[in-house]
């Protein structure tokens, strides 16, 4: 997954986000909103389902996303690319869920995702 910001930019953005959201009741509000997003946003529910699925379940989701059957997916010379495109789609959807649900900017959402993925 290519992030639209450099690692140093994401670290700076995340630090500023923590300072901004760590004031007063904002930290509790953030936690409550995050719980709501993770438990109800369609993309988050798909991500949760995939993390608990076996490879066959993941391949089923990838094939559905690309509009092909699982057999075609598995024999495709582009199997890795097709899987990555689906993962990228999920991450972009999660970023958008954070933007709308947490009322943060897109760059702040990308920084949050990078932190969750232990990239910063």
pLDDT digits (tens, 9 = 90+) for 6-19: 999 999 998 888 87
Question: Coil, helix or strand for 78?
Answer: coil
Rounded Cα distance, 50 and 39, in Å = 14
Structure tokens belonging to residue 91: 């991450």
Neighbouring C-beta atoms of residue 86, cutoff 10 Å = 20
Write out pLDDT tens, residues 25-50: 666 777 777 778 878 877 777 777 76
**Structure-token match 């943060």, residue found:** 104
Domain ranges of the chain: 7-116
Could you give the dihedral angle defined by the CA atoms of residues 85, 90, 96 and 98, in that order, rounded to the nearest 10 degrees?
-140
| pTM, entire model | 0.79
């Amino acid at each position: 997954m290519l992030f639209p910001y450099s690692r140093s930019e994401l670290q700076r953005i995340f630090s500023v986000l923590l300072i901004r959201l760590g004031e007063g009741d904002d930290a509790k509000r953030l936690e409550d909103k995050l719980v709501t997003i993770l438990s109800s946003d369609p993309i988050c529910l798909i991500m949760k389902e995939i993390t608990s699925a076996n490879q066959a379940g993941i391949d089923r989701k990838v094939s559905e996303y690309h509009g092909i059957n699982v057999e075609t997916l598995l024999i495709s010379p582009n199997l890795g690319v097709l899987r990555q495109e689906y993962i990228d789609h999920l991450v972009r959807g999660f970023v958008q869920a954070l933007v709308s649900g947490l009322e943060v900017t897109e760059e702040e959402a990308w920084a949050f995702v990078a932190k969750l993925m232990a990239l910063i």
